[in-house]
Amino acid sequence: MDALADREQYELYFFLEQHLLAQEDPIYKENTSIAFDLASIYQEVSIRYFEQTGIKLDSTKDENQKQLYEWIQQKERYHLLTEQLKLMLDCIANPSILDESSKPDYFLITNLLPLVNIMNDEGVRTLGKTKPQVVPLSYHSDREINKLVEEILVEIDPTEKWLSIYQRAQEEGSFIDYLSLPPEMRMNYQMIEEPDGSLNATFLTSTGQFSFVTYQNTLEDVATILHEFTHYIYYEKNKEVASLTLREFSPIFYEKYGLLSLSRKGYPLEELLSIDRKRRDNTGVLARSNACLYNYLSMLLQDGTIREEKDISFNFRAQNKILSMMTNKMKRDIKTNSPEFFDPIKFSHINCDFAVMYLIRHPESFYTEYPYVVGTHFATKAINNLSKNQAILVRMKEYTEKANEIDPYLIFEGIGGNPRNLGLTPIDQDLKTCLQKKKSLF
Ligand SMILES: [Zn+2]
């Protein structure tokens, strides 16, 4: 036998999953270094099948391949999910696997379980909410938008240092209207553009930082500019990337502050609320679509493994709870459209398979979602507490300028975020020392 014979069963399943992904997604195939020798994988699975069931199946036939795939899936799916989640946790402990410039976030590592639960809650919170009506946004010129941003920057920093950094960045051409770039330059950023061709992002390079903003000539521009400019200020002051926990926290806070300030200036409240809701919904959708992943991660952190029985009984209880809140018509609709919902076993397997596929395709998912979801959670708290505690605005400026020097626990406490009630604790210094040597959570 060739090298395939040494493979574990779950590894064969992993290769089959990868093959299916590559069939669906040519870009994924291009970026995957593994060569897919499907025939030999199925042959190997059929040998395992024979060893364990005594039944011989011709692995070249389509219908047998389907049966073999389902068999190995049944036996290995939860094992594979556990392994993939551990890999994801490894990326969290040592993010330089994915992005050379990133350092481990010790607050996240100290507080993995409560933070995963916050992510899960943020996702579940948006479930069942009706889609808000989209309000048409009024036109505002670039000039007016910039004037508003400048006024708000003076509110944020009355010493006017932030204002002068903003003005200087524009004069130097490091705060850039993205659509004003010649198309051949924009080509370089095509991969990270939004589907509509817009791009809002701030980059740190060896020579300094620069931001792209795509003007829409609506009041949302004020929020977008303040968001990107907060990243800009942070890079200017620190010359390094902020920790995962704090990366999006201040930018989201200041975009919200911008909208609050516009409402005080008398701009139409329904427009401002609609902008804020749209931006928050985007994060909510992100969290919601992966709520089952966070749920699995939470199980893994509690039990050290994902057990099928636990998953099924969890879904059984969750379904009963949801069903008890539904009208008969809703129940009938679900029965017609997605009958598997009423079968906790099938439903659990669908969730598990989704999670496995998703993790194989996006091993970096938690790493990219976490800063937005947790950032939104605490930035919203800070904004809500601002009316009764104006000192938060002063503190936020301090936190933004030197975020990496302060334990996020103290920052979240300072903005009235009640970190203790959420089960969070300050960074565990022993864990930090231990991880700096070991670089893995398992
Ligand atoms: Zn951002």
pLDDT 10s digit of each residue in the chain, 442 long?
Answer: 444 456 677 788 888 888 877 777 777 777 766 666 788 889 989 999 999 999 999 999 989 999 999 999 888 899 999 999 998 888 887 888 777 777 889 999 999 999 999 988 887 776 656 666 778 999 999 999 999 999 999 999 999 999 999 999 999 999 999 999 999 999 999 888 988 889 999 999 989 999 999 999 999 999 999 999 999 999 999 998 888 999 999 999 999 999 999 999 999 999 999 999 888 887 777 777 788 888 899 999 999 999 999 999 988 888 888 788 788 888 888 888 877 778 889 989 998 998 998 888 888 888 888 999 999 999 999 999 999 999 999 999 999 998 888 999 999 999 999 999 999 999 988 877 777 776 556 5
Report in angstroms the alpha-carbon separations of 146 from 132, 158, 177, 221, 260: 29, 17, 12, 9, 17
Residues around ion ligand 1, judged by CB within 5 A, are 248, 251
Q: In what order do the strands lie in the sheet with 201-205?
A: 175-177, 208-213, 201-205
Residue 201's φ and ψ, nearest 5 degrees, are -160, 155
Report which DSSP code applies to 135.
P
| Cβ count within 10 A of residue 235 | 20
Nearest 5°: the CA angle 296, 300, 302 is: 115
Tokens 């701030």 sit on residue: 202
Q: What is the pLDDT of residue 172?
A: 94
Ligand 1 centroid vs 254 CA: distance in angstroms? 11
Ligand 1 centroid vs 201 CA: distance in angstroms? 7
Ligand 1 centroid vs 9 CA: distance in angstroms? 42
Ligand 1 centroid vs 338 CA: distance in angstroms? 37
Ligand 1 centroid vs 101 CA: distance in angstroms? 17
Tokens 């948006």 sit on residue: 126
Contact assessment for residue 250 and residue 399, using Cβ atoms and an 8 Å cutoff: yes
Ligand 1 centroid vs 260 CA: distance in angstroms? 19
Ligand 1 centroid vs 30 CA: distance in angstroms? 29
In angstroms, the CA 93 to CA 112 distance is 10
Dihedral sign for Cα 204, 281, 28, 351, please.
positive
Amino acid present at 428 = D
Residue 419's φ and ψ, nearest 5 degrees, are -60, -30
Report in angstroms the alpha-carbon separations of 265 from 160, 223, 268: 20, 15, 9
Ligand 1 centroid vs 248 CA: distance in angstroms? 5
Q: What is the pLDDT of residue 344?
A: 87
In angstroms, the CA 5 to CA 95 distance is 33
Q: What is the pLDDT of residue 1?
A: 43
Q: What is the pLDDT of residue 126?
A: 66
Ligand 1 centroid vs 181 CA: distance in angstroms? 21
**Which residues make Cβ contacts (< 8 Å) with residue 299, sequence separation at least 6?**
306, 307, 310, 311, 314
pTM of the entire structure? 0.86
Nearest CA to 81 among 305, 294, 302? Answer: 305
Ligand 1 centroid vs 212 CA: distance in angstroms? 12
Ligand 1 centroid vs 76 CA: distance in angstroms? 38
Ligand 1 centroid vs 228 CA: distance in angstroms? 6
In angstroms, the CA 398 to CA 395 distance is 5
In angstroms, the CA 352 to CA 67 distance is 19
In angstroms, the CA 359 to CA 348 distance is 16
Ligand 1 centroid vs 305 CA: distance in angstroms? 33
Tokens 């989704």 sit on residue: 354
Ligand 1 centroid vs 250 CA: distance in angstroms? 9
Ligand 1 centroid vs 244 CA: distance in angstroms? 11
Contact assessment for residue 179 and residue 194, using Cβ atoms and an 8 Å cutoff: no
Say how many residues make up the chain: 442
Report in angstroms the alpha-carbon separations of 379 from 41, 110, 376, 441: 49, 21, 5, 29
Ligand 1 centroid vs 75 CA: distance in angstroms? 41
Ligand 1 centroid vs 350 CA: distance in angstroms? 33
Ligand 1 centroid vs 251 CA: distance in angstroms? 6
Ligand 1 centroid vs 329 CA: distance in angstroms? 42
Tokens 């985007």 sit on residue: 282
Longest dimension (CA), the chain: 80
Nearest CA to 95 among 247, 282, 298, 303? Answer: 247
Distance of CA 225 to the CA centre of its chain: 22
Ligand 1 centroid vs 232 CA: distance in angstroms? 10
Ligand 1 centroid vs 283 CA: distance in angstroms? 12
Ligand 1 centroid vs 256 CA: distance in angstroms? 13
Residue 216's φ and ψ, nearest 5 degrees, are -110, -5
